[in-house]
Amino acid sequence: MKNSILLALCFCLPAFAYANSSANTLDSLLLKVKAQQSENRSIESQRDTDFSADLSVWQEKLKVAQQRLALAKKDAAEKGAAFESNEQQLVELTEALNINKENLGELFGVVRQVAGDFSGQIQGSVISAQYPERNAFVNQLAQSKTLPSLTELEKLWFVMLQDMTESSKVVPFSTQVLDAQGVAKNEQITRLGGFNLVAGSDSANGSQYLVIDSQSELPQPLSRPVASEVQSTLETWQNKDTRLTPFYFDPAKGELLTVLSRTPTWTERAQQGGIIGYIILSILLFGLVIAAVRFALLTKESAKIKLQLNSETASQDNALGRVMGIYQANKQQTTQLLELKLEEAILCEVPRLERGSSVLKVLAAIAPMMGLLGTVTGMIGTFQSITLFGTGDPKLMAGGISMALITTVLGLIAALPLLLIHSLLHSRANNLINIIEQQSAGLIASQAELHEQTNTATEQKLADRKSA
């Protein structure tokens, strides 16, 4: 019991001591809190005093700010109304602009199209040789990307009207003309409407047609002279003849004249045919010579036979006369023997009359075959050129193609007249042979009739003798 009391006292003593020390700490803390609260009240009181002093200032600023806000709202309302009005006006102006743009866009497209078409029309025109300055204006207007002005529209109208009026005039004028070496010289030339340009007889190259060079757009002579009949009409017209004279116009503005001047002559065509072409022409010439000789001989023989028909005396200078000579020499022979003699004489005369006909027939058959040979040869040369150089340059194939085409034409040209001449000569020879055969048949018939009459008379005499 005593030990328990002592133990309890031991534990209680420290706790009492700790309680006394804690009470002192709390008191000091309470004093500090009170002091801090007093300080805070004084600071708060000072802040309330300062705020109360500045309240009038802030209220004045608030009043000014409210006034500014009211002015800003009023200004915003006015500007909002103006914005809505402007927006409505903008919509109306946009609609009007779109309508006007459509009209102007259509006008712009039409002007560009017309200017482009007209530019292609006057490009290389003979009228442009006299008025070269209009080309640049029309080309610029055709390529323009802006709306044309009224001045440009009026100028385009004037240029188009000028082209129409000038196309009906024959006008001499002076301009730069390219010579054969490509050197430009000032010369006096004549424009015939919108068709042709011609140089006078006093020019460097004499009277001739001119065409427009595509690069320099200057007149220049044709690369080759035109045909003689075309050139003669030009010279006749330039001689100021008051009579109506024919004249060659080129509605293609020189293109047809260029093609006409480049048309090869017969000599050039024969040269294009090569050696085979010359052979075909030789065949034709040889056949014509034979035909001419045969025609002359048959004509002479026909004239002699016609004379012989009117004569009873046999002449040895013609076929019918020789046949009649055989008849007269064998009158006393029997009819069968006389017929054989006359047939032999006719067979001797027929080859003379038909001589050369078979040669013409063979030549007429050979000519187209030679043309076919030239065609095959030319195509072989063309294919060889294609194999070596390809098809990029047509000039490399021109020689073979020319031979392939020209030789066929030459062969047909040679064959057709030879066939016709052969037919005519053969028909003429047949007519003469028919005349000889008819006369021979007549002679045999006369001889048979004579023999028949003689036999009848002889039989009559024998009958008379028997009856006597």
Contacting residues for 403 by C-beta, under 8 A, at least 6 apart: 272, 273, 274, 276, 277, 374, 375, 377, 378, 381
With 60 as the cut, is the pLDDT of residue 104 above it?
A: yes
Task: In whole angstroms, give the CA distance from residue 349 to residue 312.
Answer: 19
CA-based nearest residue to 272, from 158, 139, 405: 405
Provide the 10 A C-beta neighbour count for residue 275.
Answer: 11
Predicted confidence band of residue 285 (pLDDT cuts 50, 70, 90): very high
Predicted confidence band of residue 6 (pLDDT cuts 50, 70, 90): very low
Distance of CA 75 to the CA centre of its chain: 75
Give 310-321 pLDDT, tens digit per residue. Answer: 777 777 777 777
Task: In whole angstroms, give the CA distance from residue 105 to residue 92.
Answer: 20
Give 129-172 pLDDT, tens digit per residue. Answer: 888 888 888 888 888 877 788 888 888 888 888 888 888 888 88
SS3 per-residue string spanning the chain: CHHHHHHHHHHHHHHHHHHHHHHHHHHHHHHHHHHHHHHHHHHHHHHHHHHHHHHHHHHHHHHHHHHHHHHHHHHHHHHHHHHHHHHHHHHHHHHHHHHHHHHHHHHHHHHHHHHHHHHHHHCCCHHHHHCCHHHHHHHHHHHCCCCCCHHHHHHHHHHHHHHHHHCCCEEEEEEEEECCCCCEEEEEEEEECCCEEEECCCCCCCCEEEEECCCCCCEEECCCCCCHHHHHHHHHHHCCCCCCCCCCCCCCCCHHHHHHHCCCCHHHHHHHCHHHHHHHHHHHHHHHHHHHHHHHHHHHHHHHHHHHHCCCCCCCCCHHHHHHHHHHHCCCCCHHHHHHHHHHHHHHHHHHHHCCHHHHHHHHHHHHHHHHHHHHHHHHHHHHHHHHHCCCCCHHHHHHHHHHHHHHHHHHHHHHHHHHHHHHHHHHHHHHHHHHHHHHHHHHHHHHHHHHHHHHHHHHHHHHHHHC
Of 123 and 24, more confident? 123
- Half-sphere exposure of residue 296, counting CA atoms within 13 Å on the CB side? 5
Give 161-202 pLDDT, tens digit per residue. Answer: 888 888 888 888 888 888 777 788 888 888 888 888 888 766
With 50 as the cut, is the pLDDT of residue 365 above it?
A: yes
Specify the pairing of strand 219-221 against strand 208-212.
Answer: antiparallel
Whats the size of the chain, residue-wise?
468
∠ CA 208-210-212 to the nearest 5 degrees?
170
Of 170 and 216, more confident? 170
Q: What is the pTM of this model?
A: 0.52
Give 339-351 pLDDT, tens digit per residue. Answer: 777 777 777 877 7
Task: In whole angstroms, give the CA distance from residue 21 to residue 25.
Answer: 7
Task: In whole angstroms, give the CA distance from residue 368 to residue 374.
Answer: 10
Predicted confidence band of residue 395 (pLDDT cuts 50, 70, 90): low
Which of 12-16, 23-27, 285-289, 357-361 has the weakest average pLDDT? 12-16
Tokens matching residue 331? 């009158």
Give 222-261 pLDDT, tens digit per residue. Answer: 777 777 777 777 777 777 656 677 777 777 777 777 777 7
Neighbouring-strand partners of residue 212: 219
Provide the mean pLDDT of the chain.
77
Mean pLDDT on 73-102: 82
Q: Are 178 and 213 in contact (CB under 8 A)?
A: yes
Q: Count Cβ atoms within 10 A of the Cβ of residue 333 and give its class: 0-12 exposed, 13-18 middle, 19 or more buried.
A: middle
pLDDT at 14: 45
Q: Considering the chain, what percentage of its residues have pLDDT values greater than 90?
A: 3
Predicted confidence band of residue 94 (pLDDT cuts 50, 70, 90): confident
Contacting residues for 137 by C-beta, under 8 A, at least 6 apart: 155, 156, 159
